[in-house]
Amino acid sequence: MKAEIKSSIALMYDSEDGSTAIIHIKVKSFSFDLDSPRFVASIEHFYINENGDRVIIKDRNSPYHVLEISGLFSHLGNNILASEDFPTEFTSLIESALLLEIQSTTYKGGLCAYGSTPQDWVPS
């Protein structure tokens, strides 16, 4: 099981030397902090080099307020039924949320992460 998306085209990950690659973004963990109303996603950005090795671009923890996550999951509209395998369905839900967040978060010029467009991202 993995909650991971990737770019469908090579994107620039290093603006100093113009290096490009297929970028992968993976949610390594997703937890709830009982002391505060926050979820924390541990997210890793990486690419696979010519030797097949994983090269980390960035690795960070992103906190999300409970209301943000509730709204996001409501927007996705995918309830997990008692008859379904919870870990598999929850991982799929997190992957869908990651894809939606990457595609809908824009920066300068209306572009997404790494100068991409929403169509440049797909489930891994």
Question: Domain-by-domain residue ranges, the chain?
Answer: 3-115
**Distance from CA of residue 56 to its chain's centroid?**
14
71-90 confidence digits (pLDDT tens)? 877 877 767 777 878 788 88
Torsion of CA 56, 124, 52, 55, to 10 degrees: 0
DSSP 118: G
Confidence (pTM):
0.86
User: How long is the chain?
Assistant: 124
DSSP 79: P
For residues 113 and 124, give the distance between their C-alpha atoms in angstroms, rounded to a whole number: 16
| Residue 2 pLDDT greater than 70, yes or no | yes
